[in-house]
Amino acid sequence: MTAFSAQLPATVPVTVGDRCCFGGTDLVVIGGPCSVESAAMVLDTALSVAASGARMLRGGAFKPRTSPHTFQGMGDPALDLLAQAGERAGLPVVTEVTDPRHVDRVAGVADMLQVGARNMQNYALLAEVGRSGKPVLLKRGLAATLKEFLLAAEHIRVAGNDAVVLCERGIRTFETASRFTLDVTAVPVLKAESHLPVIVDPSHAGGRAPLVAPLARAAIAAGADGLIVEVHPEPATAQSDAEQSLTFAAFAELMVQVERVALAVGRTIGAAPLAVGASV
């Protein structure tokens, strides 16, 4: 971590399904609700984010929640709803897995497995997603150094899985004006120190809808390979993360802004979806 290579190592792309490739010239934006709340809401969201240029659908089935007394997700039924919505919208899906005993079941439905910030050092889970054969979206722990983050990815790799995408989602600092502090510096450092694609979650980092677009633009400008963004048909009624979810219109506007910045740094977004592998 001490020596910063002027020469970046080439990122080795990670492919999900046949339309999604993290780490190439084309950026991948993942959109979707924090939690799957009903068939209708996840389908509506999937169709809307796809129309705006998202390449993957996110949605929580098993929600790790700080308090045991808040909504914990719909569980298994949500997995099927998510997969159906993804199929209808033509988007592969990513969802969080929180228990090593659920990995097989989730991997049977999802195209990519997410390990959340709370579980970045849950080594039993890392080993199991490593054995799953599915690509993994690994989020940074909120007090993890970048060195520890890369070592967590190494736990997945030694279990047999090289298809890991890193996700910076804000770290915990003294500042309270945002939910967490987006460590945008993590993007160039991780790109320089590893071969793994790096995306950013501006929704959790900022914690408030008006901050999502500026943080998303900053992430792409710093060299991120994509974004994961929370979108909800009616954010005010969301059962989790209401404050940070974007409306469909705000997500569409975000995509326009992000594309402009992407072009400014030599990247594309939503270009040539069917031939994405070729653009790498």
The torsion of the CA quartet 63, 67, 71, 76, rounded to 10 degrees, works out to 40
Give the nearest distance from C-beta 184 to its own copies in angstroms: 5
Total binding residues toward its own copies, as defined by CB under 8 A:
70
Site residues (CB under 8 A) for its own copies, limited to 147-186: 147-148, 151, 154-155, 158, 171-178, 181-186
Per CB under 8 A, 105 contacts its own copies: no
Per CB under 8 A, 187 contacts its own copies: yes
Report whether 130 contacts 143 (CB < 8 A): no
Site residues (CB under 8 A) for its own copies, limited to 28-47: none
Torsional sign, CA 24, 160, 80, 205: negative
The pair of structure tokens assigned to 114 is: 């997410």
Give the nearest distance from C-beta 135 to its own copies in angstroms: 19
Q: Which is nearer to its own copies, 84 or 247 (CB)?
A: 247
Give the nearest distance from C-beta 46 to its own copies in angstroms: 26
Binds its own copies (CB under 8 A): choice among 260, 272, 275, 278: 260
Rounded to a whole number of angstroms, the CA Rg of the chain reads 17
Per CB under 8 A, 121 contacts its own copies: yes
What binding mask, one character per residue, do residues 231-250 give for its own copies by CB under 8 A, x or -? --------------------
**Of how many residues is the chain composed?**
280
Task: Identify the burial level of 266 via C-beta atoms within 10 angstroms of its C-beta, where 0-12 means exposed, 13-18 middle and 19 or more buried.
Answer: exposed
Task: Identify the burial level of 1 via C-beta atoms within 10 angstroms of its C-beta, where 0-12 means exposed, 13-18 middle and 19 or more buried.
Answer: exposed
What binding mask, one character per residue, do residues 213-232 give for its own copies by CB under 8 A, x or -? -xx-xxxxxxx---------
**Phi, psi (5° rounding) for residue 150?**
-65, -35
Q: Which residues contact 147 (CB under 8 A, 6 or more apart)?
A: 1
Per CB under 8 A, 205 contacts its own copies: yes
Q: Which is nearer to its own copies, 58 or 155 (CB)?
A: 155
Residue 5 vs residues 31, 45, 172: alpha-carbon distances, Å: 33, 41, 27
Per CB under 8 A, 10 contacts its own copies: no
- Nearest Cα neighbor of 92 from 125, 135, 63, 62 is 135
**Phi, psi (5° rounding) for residue 76?**
-45, -50
Binds its own copies (CB under 8 A): choice among 25, 257, 268, 279: 257
Q: Which is nearer to its own copies, 69 or 274 (CB)?
A: 69
Binds its own copies (CB under 8 A): choice among 143, 249, 272, 275: 143
User: For binding to its own copies (CB under 8 A), which residues are involved?
Assistant: 1, 4-6, 64-69, 98-101, 118-119, 121-125, 141-143, 145-148, 151, 154-155, 158, 171-178, 181-189, 192, 205-206, 208, 210-211, 214-215, 217-223, 257, 260-261, 263-265
